[in-house]
Structure 1
Amino acid sequence: MSLPAVVTFWLYLIFLIPSIIFCIFCLYYFLTDSRFRKALYNHVFVIILFFTLFYELTDIIWFIYYSHTGIVLSSTPMFCLIWIYVDYSGYVTILLLMSWAAIERHILIFHQNCMATLVKRFLFHYLPLIVFSIYPFIFYFVVFFVMPCDVPFNYKKQRCGHGFCLFNNTLVGTWDAIADYIVPVFITIILSIALIIRVWYIKYRNGQRFQWKRYKKMTVQLISISFLYFVLYLPFLILNTAYTAGLSTDIGFDFFGTSADLSYLIVLFIPFMCTISSPELRRKFQKITRTCRRSRRIVAPAPLPVYHLRRDRVVKRTSSIH
Structure 2
Amino acid sequence: MNPFSYERATDAASAIRLANATAATRYLGGGTNLVDLMREHIEQPEVLVDVTPLAQTIEVRADGSMLIGAAVKNTALASDAHVRQAFPLLSRAILAGASAQIRNMATVAGNILQRTRCTYFYDEAARCNKRKPGCGCDALQGFNRYHAILGASDDCVATHPSDLCVALVALDAVVHLQGAAGSRSLPLTELHRLPGAHPEHETELQPHELITAIEIPALAFAGHSAYRKVRDRSSYAFALVSVAAALDVDAQGRVRDVRLALGGVAHKPWRASKAEAVLRGQAATEATFLAAADAELAAARGLRDNGFKIELARRTIVAVLQQLTEARA
The alignment's TM-score, normalised by the length of structure 2, stands at 0.24
Max radius of gyration: which structure?
1
Higher RCO (C-alpha 8 Å, min separation 6)? 1
